[in-house]
């Protein structure tokens, strides 16, 4: 069954966090779901990411891994990214061992790029081109090391996704107000009305 890679699925704000968010409800294992449990979703994610991440990368196409080792490498980057930035979002900064693991993986991945590949950190004015999805996700994560960007990474209290809060006063509370924010409002409304009904004997 195919999955709709719509705008909500890219609420992370940057490619690195979008990749980490291909697993939902990470903090409640009994509800956790991996959208890449079907490997066919990887190229579909890459195609959608090229559209939704133009503000970060410009007009670029992300080349998805096709071999099993390539997909395994992408999954390793995904998990290292999640571990590194989830800790940062909790105020723990860039932990030495998780940072080291992330950088080691990135070094291996970058070494697999063609010698004539011109690598840069994400830039919205970049020229049209093509880049490995795995390498692009790693470079997207590297750009988040900047202190002014690192402190804007948050965890959605509803779905547990990581997201980059680009609001002016850093007041964003949800990965997506239209989805997680509205669900939280609905729960509060239900809980409040339920308690009122219980207290009134209805």
Q: What is the pLDDT of residue 201?
A: 40
Q: Which range is least confidently modeled, 80-94, 135-149, 170-184? A: 170-184
Residue 2 lies in a domain: no
Q: Which range is least confidently modeled, 41-45, 132-136, 165-169? A: 165-169
pLDDT bracket for residue 134 (50, 70, 90): very high
Q: Is the pLDDT of residue 82 over 80?
A: yes
Q: What is the pLDDT of residue 193?
A: 56
pLDDT bracket for residue 171 (50, 70, 90): confident
Q: What is the pLDDT of residue 182?
A: 72
Q: What is the pLDDT of residue 187?
A: 60
> pLDDT tens digits for 34-76?
999 999 999 999 999 999 999 999 999 999 999 999 999 999 9
Question: Which residue range(s) make up the domain with 90?
Answer: 7-200
Give the burial class of 144: count Cβ atoms within 10 A of its Cβ; 0-12 exposed, 13-18 middle, 19 or more buried. buried
Q: What is the pLDDT of residue 128?
A: 76
Q: How many domains does the chain have?
A: 1
Contact by Cβ (8 Å): 155, 89: yes
Q: Is the pLDDT of residue 155 over 60?
A: yes
Q: Which of 185, 176, 160 is nearest to 6 (CA)?
A: 176
Q: How many CB atoms lie within 10 A of CB 121?
A: 13
CATH value at residue 127: 1.10.3300
- Evaluated on CA atoms 182, 183, 185, 186, the torsion sign reads positive
Residue 49 lies in a domain: yes
Q: Which residue has the tokens 């590297």?
A: 142
- Answer with the residue of higher pLDDT: 112 or 186: 112
Q: Is the pLDDT of residue 158 over 60?
A: yes
Residue 101 lies in a domain: yes
Residue 1 lies in a domain: no
What does the block give as tokens for 129? 């081109």
């Amino acid at each position: 069954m195919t999955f709709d890679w719509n705008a909500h699925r890219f609420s992370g704000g940057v490619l690195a966090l979008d990749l980490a968010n291909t697993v939902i409800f990470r903090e409640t294992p009994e509800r956790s779901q991996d959208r890449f449990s079907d490997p066919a979703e990887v190229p579909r994610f890459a195609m959608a990411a090229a559209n939704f991440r133009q503000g970060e990368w410009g007009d670029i196409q992300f080349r998805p891994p096709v071999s099993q080792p390539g997909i395994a490498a992408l999954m390793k980057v995904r998990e290292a990214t999640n571990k590194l930035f989830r800790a940062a979002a909790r105020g723990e900064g860039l932990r030495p061992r998780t940072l080291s693991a992330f950088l080691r993986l990135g070094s291996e991945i970058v070494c697999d790029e063609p010698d004539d590949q011109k690598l840069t950190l994400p830039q919205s004015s970049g020229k049209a081109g093509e880049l490995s999805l795995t390498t692009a996700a790693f470079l997207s994560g590297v750009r988040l090391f900047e202190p002014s960007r690192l402190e804007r990474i948050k965890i959605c209290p509803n779905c547990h996704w990581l997201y980059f809060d680009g609001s002016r006063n850093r007041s964003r509370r949800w990965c997506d107000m239209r989805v997680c924010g509205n669900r939280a409002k609905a729960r509060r409304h239900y809980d409040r009305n339920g308690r009122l009904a219980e207290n009134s004997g209805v």
